Structure 1
Amino acid sequence: MIKKYIMERKSWIFFFLFMQLFILFVSYLDAAISLRSAFYIVFLLTIMLILFVIVRYKKETKFYKSLEEWESDLDLSNVLHAESPFEKMVESTLVNQTNLLKQSAWENRVSLEEEKDELLSWIHEVKTPLTAMHLIIERVEEEKIKSQLSYEWLRIHMLLDQQLHQKRIPFMENDLYIEHVELKPLIFKEIKALQSWCMQKGIGFDIELEVPSVLSDAKWLSFIIRQILTNAVKYSESSDIVIKSSMQKGHVQLEIRDFGRGIDPKDLPRIFDKGFTSTTAHQDQAATGMGLYLAKKAAEPLLIDIDVQSQLHEGTTFTITFPEKNEFVRITGM
């Protein structure tokens, strides 16, 4: 800060030095003025300037130091009250701009909340005709047409489900309920939802659950598993998907392994990025690039770690690692 202060006042300092040199120059030209006395006066004036700069530095930089330490979070309570006219100008501008930003942020938040509520309401309204459509599809006798309709219905249902959870994720910490979740009924429920699609693609499931339950939120854990299972089914053909649970180093791990087309090594670091779709099948119009991104976002508040290993043309393994019991103290306090 002192360097900045000196740079700010350099014109004054240069003017002072010029005046001292001017005094010495005049005393040199005028024999009536003692050069020694002139040097003495210059010395005293320089000492006075240094003392003056020290005093003014402390006084003039207090306000600007508080600005420098300000976290720019629209809270001006930590900024010192302005004293000089120029400081008051700065303070007035900051207060006005901060109030405008607060008002704008509030209006945007209200607008987003209204948009979110409208979308959630629309999604819930759409689910009613979707349910009726599913019942109608069940009555179709032609198996081929029934299978195709069921697949398209499932795609619509999955997309709506993603939209619903995408809007809820920013507020999911207010919706968490941590409990012992039985894995078997939860996994079977998600498999049942994909049953028609799996039958169409000739996909089966091999389930081995050494650890039958985990501590988590059942609703959000279902959503995470749903996204991973959907990916596994989408990119597999005529093979089994292996689901295992085990205890590893004090943590429960749930492993979901498919034998599908796998993931290109260059794509692995990006599969959880928003909107990313595989570079090996970039023309796939059905891929949204949102499923794994939302699964990762939902896993963070639950302290769940999702790891992926894959070999191209051999298959992919997703490993869901759950936190230890004592790590949920922070979550249950939300």
Structure 2
Amino acid sequence: MEKNRKWQTAGEVWKENAEFFVALLFFDCFSFLCLWLLDNRKSGKLAAIFVLFTGVIFVFLFLNKLKKKKKKFLYFQELLSDRNHLNRELNTDVLSFEEKWIIEKLREKIEDIEVEKKDKVLALQQQQEYVETWVHEIKTPISWLTLMLENREDEMSPKVYQKLQYMNVQLQEYVSQILYFSRLSYEHKREVMEWVSLRECIEYVLEEYEYLLTENGISIAKDLKIKEIFTDRKNLEFILSQAVSNSIQYRKEEKGQIIFSSYENGEKLCLCIEDNGKGVSEVDLPFVFEKGFTGSNGQENKKSTGIGLYLVKKLAENMKLVCSAKNREAGGFRLIIEFPKVEKEEIV
């Protein structure tokens, strides 16, 4: 590698000074012609002297420029090895005026970029703080609404109670989406990895959607061959909640069903959430995880945002998980999350 770089440097020196070396060769040829015209008998000896002298000059100039090129390369290497080196005084013995001017302009550009970056980071931090504060504040009226629905159902008409229950679930879902969306840009992630019971996580999410599941006549089935997974509980619960929400939203008119299953697949542990709903058209299937994509089903359902599965995919990527989606052969949608197999003995 070092040898190739030396030959490359020599080639660059030749290209940069080719015009000078060619001019030197033409000068020699012209001198030979003049000597031959003046004295044909002595022209041979003088020509040999000229050739020798020109060769010495050529080798000396070439090696000198090669040395300067190498010195300049090492200087740039040192200059770029540390950000602080760019702020020190430039070595005018190594750099030409043009190179010095370019570096000065690069310094100014880097400083402008760093100032702009700091402003963006500050604005992002302020936005994240505002979102978290807003989420914290909005939970109070949502809690009051939940409490009212639990204790004063008999004071409301069935229609009003149904609408308020639906609004309550939707509000909680939207708040969770906003919170997780804002956390995607966090430099330091907040995952708390632990052994999590899949059954407990599923039951917790189903409890949150209990009213909508019951109201829409959706039954639940579980086939959990894997009981525990090493992951972040809150992120897993969010992923499950988005899957359940999609199954409710895109259910068919007849009796719906959501099936939770877990199984081992080679070196992976798979968690599968599937339903017997409308499914996704084959044309839309490759894009279901894209932000804002709602597809043909979303056109029918005006309340679709195209954010849920996007957040699921991003959360999975942050936790180094594999997330995929496909249609069931019997009709419906299947979401599969693949976890790495971890033995309890490996966790210290």
TM bucket (normalised to shorter chain) is 0.7 to 0.9
Structure 1 CA distance for aligned equivalents of residues 300 and 149 of structure 2: 29
Partner of 2:173: 158
Give the alignment's Cα RMSD to 1 decimal. Answer: 3.4
Contact 2:135 2:175 in 1 (8 A): yes
Find the structure with the greater CA-based Rg.
2
- Going from structure 1 to structure 2, the CA distance change for 1:283 and 1:18 (only over 3 Å counts) comes to farther
Deviates more, 1:313-322 or 1:217-226: 313-322
- Going from structure 1 to structure 2, the CA distance change for 1:28 and 1:272 (only over 3 Å counts) comes to farther
Residue 246 of structure 2 aligns to which amino acid in structure 1? N
Partner of 2:262: 245
Residue 153 of structure 1 aligns to which amino acid in structure 2? N
Partner of 1:84: 95
Number of corresponding residues: 330
- Going from structure 1 to structure 2, the CA distance change for 1:74 and 1:298 (only over 3 Å counts) comes to farther
What's the CA shift for 1:165? 0.8
What's the CA shift for 1:14? 3.9
Higher relative contact order (CA 8 A, sep 6+): 1
Partner of 1:262: 279
Contact 2:316 2:322 in 1 (8 A): yes
Partner of 1:26: 34
Contact 1:63 1:79 in 2 (8 A): no
Partner of 1:190: 205
What's the CA shift for 1:265? 2.1
Contact 1:27 1:33 in 2 (8 A): no
Q: Say whether residues 1:287 and 2:295 are aligned partners.
A: no
Contact 2:262 2:271 in 1 (8 A): yes
Query: Map of 1:90-169 to 2, 5 A cutoff?
Result: 90-138=102-150, 139-140=152-153, 141-169=156-184
Structure 2 CA distance for aligned equivalents of residues 172 and 229 of structure 1: 29
Deviates more, 1:290-299 or 1:245-254: 245-254
- Deviation per residue, 1:111-158 (Å, 9 max, x gap): 211121112212221221222233344435222222223223322321
Structure 2 CA distance for aligned equivalents of residues 160 and 69 of structure 1: 50
- Going from structure 1 to structure 2, the CA distance change for 1:50 and 1:152 (only over 3 Å counts) comes to farther
Point out where structure 2 has 5 or more consecutive residues left out of the alignment.
1-7
- Deviation per residue, 1:244-303 (Å, 9 max, x gap): 122333533221111111122232222222222224544643222221121121122323
Q: Secondary structure at the match of 1:9?
A: helix
Partner of 1:220: 235
Partner of 1:9: 17
Q: Secondary structure at the match of 2:119?
A: helix
Partner of 2:5: none
| Percent sequence identity over aligned pairs | 23
Structure 2 CA distance for aligned equivalents of residues 84 and 250 of structure 1: 56
Structure 2 CA distance for aligned equivalents of residues 22 and 59 of structure 1: 30
Contact 1:74 1:102 in 2 (8 A): no
Contact 1:66 1:78 in 2 (8 A): no
Contact 1:173 1:301 in 2 (8 A): no
Question: In structure 1, which of residues 63, 66, 69 is the aligned counterpart of residue 72 of structure 2?
Answer: 63
Contact 2:230 2:342 in 1 (8 A): yes
Q: Secondary structure at the match of 1:171?
A: coil
Residue 249 of structure 1 aligns to which amino acid in structure 2? G
Partner of 2:63: 54
